[in-house]
Amino acid sequence: MKITKNKRGDKILSVYWFAIIIIVAGGIFGMVYVFYSTPYDTRQVEARLLINNLADCVSYDGQINSDLFSGGTLNPSENYLSKCHLTLNSGDLEAWKNNEQYYMEVKFYKISDLSNPISTLKDGNNNWLPGCSVQAEKKISNLAQCVERSFYSLDALGNQYLIKILGVVAKSEKNVKM
């Protein structure tokens, strides 16, 4: 007794399998291409890292840095932020060589008067600052990203201060798809 198998449909079935494999591979390629073709906007993360490093430089373990005081009063030098050892290297784009892509501002407030800062430290390109007020109203991706953080700290005498740090990162040519 001889059993014959009908194998005429195998050729047609293999063509469909190849078509399905090509469609699946094309779909995977398309999804990967779409996902990786848009640049990551890391400016918020960079601004948070900048603020965290500034906070550690100004106040560590809840104590304001002793270099910020002279004669028992808060009196930071103009170039204090340069002592924080921050490397603000924006890359090698030609447009950025003459135009800094960062701005940082540290304001100190006494607890008794939170409306008027007693001292302010600034560094970077303050031309990015007006974009922060616009970003508060509406999210616009082409503008610089602004992040603000505030915390409380003590001086050596136990006086309390509110410290507000603003970090601004522009770099829109590199991070934003136009």
CB atoms within 10 A of CB 104: 22
- State the pTM of this model: 0.72
**Residue pLDDT, tens place only, 105-137:** 999 998 988 899 988 888 888 888 888 877 767
> Higher-confidence residue: 178 or 101?
101
Say yes or no to pLDDT of 69 above 80: no
102 neighbors 151 (Cβ within 8 angstroms): no
CB atoms within 10 A of CB 170: 25
18 sits in the region (left: phi over 0; alpha: psi -120 to 50; else beta) called alpha
pLDDT above 90 coverage of the chain, percent: 25
Among the ranges given (76-80, 107-111, 160-164), the one the predictor scored with the smallest mean pLDDT: 76-80
What gap in Å lies between CA 24 and CA 65, rounded to an integer? Answer: 59
What gap in Å lies between CA 113 and CA 161, rounded to an integer? Answer: 10
According to DSSP, the residues that pair with 154 across neighbouring strands are 63, 160
